[in-house]
Chain A
Amino acid sequence: MTVVTNNKWIGQRTIRPDGMDKVTGRAQFAADTNMPGMIWGKVLRSPHAHARIKSINTAKAEALPGVKAVVTARDIVDFPIEKGAVMLGIQDMRWMCRNVMAREKALFPGHPIAAVAATSEAIAAEACNLIEVDYEVLPFAIEIEDAIKSDAPILHEFNKFEGKPSNIAGRIEHKKGDLAEGFKKADIVIERSFTTRPVHQGYIEPHACLISVAPDGKTTIWSSSQGQFMVRAMTAHLTGIPQSDIRAIPAEIGGGFGGKTIVYLEPLATLLAKKSGRPVKMVMTREEVMRATGPTSGSKSTVKIGATKDGKIVAAHGTFYLQAGALPGSPIRGAVGCSFTPYDIPNLLSEGYDVCSNRSKVAAYRAPGAPIGAYAVECVLDEVAEVLKMDPLDFRLKNAAKEGTKAAHGPTFPRIGYIETVEAAKASDHYKAPLGKLQGRGVASGFWFNAGGESSAQVNITEDGNVVVTTGHPDIGGSRAGIANICAELLGIDYRRVSVIIGDTQTIGFSNLTGGSRVLFASSIVVTQSTEQIIKTLRERAAKIWEIDPEAVKWEDGAAHPVSPNAGQFPPLTLKDLAEKAPAMGGPIGAGVQLNTTGADGGFGTHICDVEVDVDLGIARVTRYTAVQDVGRAIHPGYVEGQLQGGVAQGIGWALNEEYIYTKEGKVDNPGFLDYRMPVCSDLPMIDCIMVEVPNPKHPQGVKGVGEVPLVPVMAAVANAIYNALGKRFYALPMSPPKVLEVIDAPETRQAAE
Chain B
Amino acid sequence: MCSHCSCGQPAASVEPTPQHRTLQLRHNLLASNDAAAEHNRQRFAAAGLLVVNVLSAPGSGKTAILEQLARQWLPAPVGVIVGDLATDNDARRLRAAGARAVQIQTGDLCHLEAAMVGRAFDQLDNHGMELLLIENVGNLVCPTAFDLGERLRLAVLSVPEGEDKPLKYPALFKSADAVMINKLDLAEVVDFDRTAALANLAGVAPQAQIFELSARTGAGMGALLHWLSQQRQPMAAA
A binds B: no
A→B interface (CB under 8 Å): none
Residues of B within 8 A of A (CB): none
